[in-house]
């Protein structure tokens, strides 16, 4: 079962960077402005939020295994649809099932791992997602370099997702044999029974009514605001504030994601000694250290580069450990609903906060980049300490 989940996390990371890698070619072939990639990305994000909010209801009714398998199949179909899309507007339409599939599997799989496996596996699994997200652009590059065009890049990933769907369907008996969550124990083989009807989906209002839920949701929003803003604007900050040339800045900016991937690999080992709250605090201290280092005027702008790597290392344990700690704080019976809303908050933070900084950079100054990250770090830290007092 664990091997299946590891394969799933690698495969789930594969599509995430495809649009960015393929868009320069896609925009030319489809005869649309480069900026229109934002429309597709926004539709995917919006429907990912919708499916994440529905995950509690779907998982309670059908079980985590079936929700994961169907969501991956939906993603595979959407990727295949991307490869056949004749124009931009069809891509926008297909982005709807793409987002629905992504959000459903994200919430269901993350909660399943949080309930059934140790914290180290959560860290390593998210590290594997990073590996998949790194491989995806190389597969697209392979298709483009062979003259096959961007449609074949999407087809290759779609084929891999179909294979994953088959593996997940074949593994459904393994999902049933695992220890069930409190909600799943009220159902028979993942199907709703009369007893399961007593455990109704919480919904957003029900989640917000739980003491401590608002704090952990704000934490997640802040974390994703930090990660996506740091990654998106790193290169621009180096060029416009640090005076680094564009090619060098593009290469150095990728080190932030290297820091996250390597950090999650290391975090898996450290979680054997430290609890989830301790790992979150360690990550917050590292993010603060990285932000401070950005202000140090080291030669060749090394302060910015080293700072970004350290921020990436600090980000590494926070996301997986917040998810893994959710069943402990709120109970297994509530964790799927809360994780679903967490995923929605994560995508809202990723969707809204980087553009907000773009406005700040344009109309005020891009030099506020580290201060912007610091603002969300302080808010996240305050919310974490409040959560510990309420639920600790």
* Domains defined for the chain, CATH in brackets: 2-177 (1.20.1250.20), 207-391 (1.20.1250.20)
Q: Are 45 and 354 in contact (CB under 8 A)?
A: no
The predicted structure's pLDDT at residue 222? 95
Which sign, positive or negative, has the C-alpha torsion 340, 346, 349, 351? negative
Q: pLDDT value at position 392?
A: 67
Residue 298: other Cβ atoms inside 10 A: 13
pLDDT at 192: 39
| Cβ–Cβ under 8 Å, residues 376 and 84 | no
Q: Is 303 helix (H, G, I), strand (E, B) or coil?
A: helix
Confidence (pLDDT) at 231: 81
- Residue 119's CB: how many other CB atoms inside 10 A? 25
Q: Which pLDDT value is given to residue 282?
A: 96
Q: Which pLDDT value is given to residue 281?
A: 96
- Reduced to 3 states (helix: H, G, I; strand: E, B; else coil), residue 208 is helix
Q: Is the pTM of this model over 0.85?
A: no
Of 347, 369, 348, 350, give the one whose Cα is nearest residue 360.
Answer: 369
Q: Please state the separation of Cα 160 from the chain's center in Å.
A: 20
| Gyration radius of the chain over CA positions | 21
Question: What CA–CA distances, in Å, run from 164 to 12, 70, 74, 107, 159?
Answer: 9, 11, 12, 17, 9
The tens place of each residue's pLDDT in the chain, 392 residues long, gives: 778 888 888 877 788 777 767 877 888 888 888 677 778 878 888 888 888 888 777 777 777 788 888 888 888 999 999 999 999 999 999 999 988 888 777 777 777 888 888 888 888 888 887 788 778 877 888 888 888 888 998 999 999 989 888 888 888 887 765 555 444 444 434 433 344 445 567 777 888 888 999 999 999 999 999 988 888 788 888 888 878 777 777 777 778 878 888 898 899 899 889 999 999 999 999 999 999 999 888 776 788 889 999 999 999 999 899 988 988 888 877 887 888 888 888 888 888 888 888 888 888 998 999 999 999 999 999 999 999 998 86
Q: Which of 254, 236, 246 is nearest to 362 (CA)?
A: 236
Instruction: State the Cα–Cα distance between residues 39 and 232, nearest whole angstrom.
Output: 17
Is the Cβ–Cβ distance between 271 and 123 less than 8 Å?
Answer: yes
Rounded distance, CA 166 to CA 158, Å?
A: 12
Contact between 7 and 135 under an 8 Å Cβ cutoff? The reply is: no
CB 278 within 8 A of CB 331: no
**Residue 366 DSSP code:** G
CB atoms within 10 A of CB 143: 21
């Amino acid at each position: 079962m664990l091997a299946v989940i590891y394969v799933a996390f690698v495969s789930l990371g594969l599509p995430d960077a495809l649009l960015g890698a393929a868009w320069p070619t896609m925009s030319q072939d489809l005869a649309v402005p480069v900026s229109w990639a934002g429309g597709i990305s926004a539709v995917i994000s919006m429907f990912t939020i919708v499916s994440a909010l529905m995950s509690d209801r779907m998982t309670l009714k059908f079980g985590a295994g079936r929700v994961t398998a169907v969501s991956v199949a939906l993603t595979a179909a959407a990727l295949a649809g991307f490869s056949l899309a004749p124009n931009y507007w069809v891509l926008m339409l297909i982005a709807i099932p793409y987002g629905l599939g992504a959000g459903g599997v994200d919430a269901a799989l993350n909660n399943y791992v949080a309930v059934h496996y140790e914290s180290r596996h959560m860290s390593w699994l998210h590290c594997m997602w990073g590996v998949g997200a790194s491989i995806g652009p190389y597969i697209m590059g392979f298709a483009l370099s062979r003259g096959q065009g961007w449609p074949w890049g999407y087809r290759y990933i779609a084929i891999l997702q179909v294979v994953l769907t088959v593996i997940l369907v074949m593994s459904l008996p393994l999902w049933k044999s695992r220890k069930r969550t409190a909600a799943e124990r009220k159902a028979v083989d993942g199907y709703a029974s009369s007893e399961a009807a007593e455990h109704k989906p919480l919904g957003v209002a029900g989640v917000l009514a739980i003491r401590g839920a608002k704090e952990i949701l704000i934490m997640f929003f802040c974390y994703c605001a930090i990660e996506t803003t740091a990654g998106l604007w790193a290169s621009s900050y180096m060029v416009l504030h640090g005076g680094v040339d564009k090619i060098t800045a593009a290469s150095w900016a990728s080190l932030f994601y290297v820091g996250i991937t390597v950090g999650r690999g290391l975090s898996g080992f450290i979680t054997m000694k430290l609890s989830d709250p301790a790992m979150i605090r360690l990550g917050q201290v590292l993010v603060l250290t990285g932000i401070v280092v950005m202000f140090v005027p080291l030669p060749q702008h090394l302060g910015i580069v080293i700072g970004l790597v350290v921020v990436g290392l600090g980000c590494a344990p926070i996301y997986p450990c917040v998810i893994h700690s959710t069943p402990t704080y709120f109970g297994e019976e509530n964790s799927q609903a809360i994780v679903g809303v967490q995923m929605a908050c994560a995508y809202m933070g990723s969707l809204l906060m980087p553009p907000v900084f773009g406005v700040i950079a344009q109309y005020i100054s891009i030099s506020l980049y580290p201060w912007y990250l610091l603002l969300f770090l302080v808010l996240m830290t305050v919310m974490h300490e409040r959560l510990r007092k309420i639920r600790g």
